[in-house]
Amino acid sequence: MTGQYLKLELHNLYSSPSIIRMIKSRRMRWEDHVARMGETRNAYRILVGKPEGKRPQLTGSGEWPKGHPLPLPSWGSPKLALSVPNVEQYEDLASNVELTVQQLLQAHNYNSVGNLLRFYEAFRASGESNLVHFYRSYLPPVTPEHYTCVGLALELLRRLSNLETKFPGLTSRLYLASCEESIEDVDGYIREEPCKTSVEKEHVLVALRVEVAGRPGILLLDPGYHIARAVTVMADNLYPHTGWFTQSDEPHCRKEYQYTLTADGNYIIWRDRETRSGLESISIAAVYVGCPFLCPVTVTERRNLVYNFRSLLSRDTKGHLVAGIYFKITDNARVVMDNGSFSFTAFYQIGCNTKRLKVDFNRYLDMQQKSSNDTRIDTAIAICGQQLGLPPGQLEAIVTSLATLLADDSFREQLLGINQDINDVACDN
């Protein structure tokens, strides 16, 4: 009787609708996790250029202290320098690398919208209500359709491996460098190795330590910031050192960049000079090039999931923006949406001119409320989507999904809360 009773109880338990939903939810999460792990393992293989089973551990230390908004980052052993006997041979190397960067920029969009939408869809499918809890268990996938700086850097490493025959030793010496943006106390920050508990490492680049005729330097590549050149940072600031250069020059804003190596060779100071309406401002970032960054997915890609500025952008071979959309997530987004003024900016090319258009997200929440200028908006979105390389109708589907996401007050507020927690941790840098 006891055995029959137990079987009956188990049957009743596993026939319960709530239990069935829980099992299905956990199975979906597990299947999604397995798929993401496969994608991430492929990304890691790209990072180290080694076959499965021979690569070092690249998920970081695995430490994620309770109450800390991000896993703790970790770094590997320093890479050897690539020795180039003279400037002429270095110029040949830099020119081949630069061409690879330019081809990458044109081939792949920068996309911090896709990873947000997938994060939201996975959260809803999980049945979770606590985003902080889900955030800790979610491993962001890295796929070619949704490259942020992480995916672009990993893809660049893969492409640069094709130059190994011409430049022996190149592949094994390339590595990812981690970057901390908007540093206030630069001298204090670069005095020692990055503090694991007070950094967010929101950006990654590709680096190569070089010796040009015995002179030390770093070759730096940044497809995530649309930089279409191989930046050379020599310790002595002499040729082939890259000085100030103009990254973009538009009627409303000019951006110029400069990179210098610290005396110990562990950091590159990146100065971003922006001029608007004749007013100049400079922000400073620190790129840690002392050791390879080992957790681009678990830390950087995860951090970018909750960032409050999102964009989907296509670039040409020179790093110029061709088309795209961008917007900011705010804590009062729903209120502003109800007033019909919460919007994203879409831009695209007509002839030699860039057209920009602000579009209300709320028009995609209620498609029946069409205004008289909707045909103009639909045409603009169609052109923008085409110049992004998307299939017809896909950009409209993307912004419709974004409108739904932003109208979800609970998700949006929790996402912004995590973002603020990360900002608070890094605020003293």
123: alpha, beta or left? (left if phi > 0; alpha if psi -120 to 50): alpha
Q: What is the pLDDT of residue 33?
A: 43
The pLDDT tens digits for 11-57 are: 443 444 444 444 444 444 444 444 444 444 444 454 544 433 333 34
Instruction: Look at residue 6 and tell me whether its pLDDT is greater than 60.
Output: no
The pLDDT tens digits for 297-315 are: 999 999 999 999 999 999 9
Q: What is the pLDDT of residue 428?
A: 66
What is the pTM for the complete model shown? Answer: 0.86
Q: How confident is the model at residue 176 (pLDDT cuts 50, 70, 90)?
A: very high
Euclidean distance between CA atoms 279 and 267, whole angstroms: 29
Which candidate, 285, 284, 346, places its Cα nearest to that of 321?
346
264-272, Cβ contacts within 8 angstroms, sequence gap of 24 or more? 264/290, 265/216, 265/218, 265/235, 265/289, 265/290, 266/190, 266/193, 266/290, 267/190, 268/177, 268/218, 268/220, 268/233, 269/186, 269/190, 270/179
Euclidean distance between CA atoms 310 and 234, whole angstroms: 34
- Give me the chain's average pLDDT, please: 87
* Domain boundary assignment for the chain: 1-123+135-296, 320-413
Q: How confident is the model at residue 91 (pLDDT cuts 50, 70, 90)?
A: very high
Q: What is the pLDDT of residue 49?
A: 45
Instruction: Look at residue 59 and tell me whether its pLDDT is greater than 80.
Output: no
Q: Would you say 280 and 289 are in contact if contact means Cβ atoms under 8 Å apart?
A: no
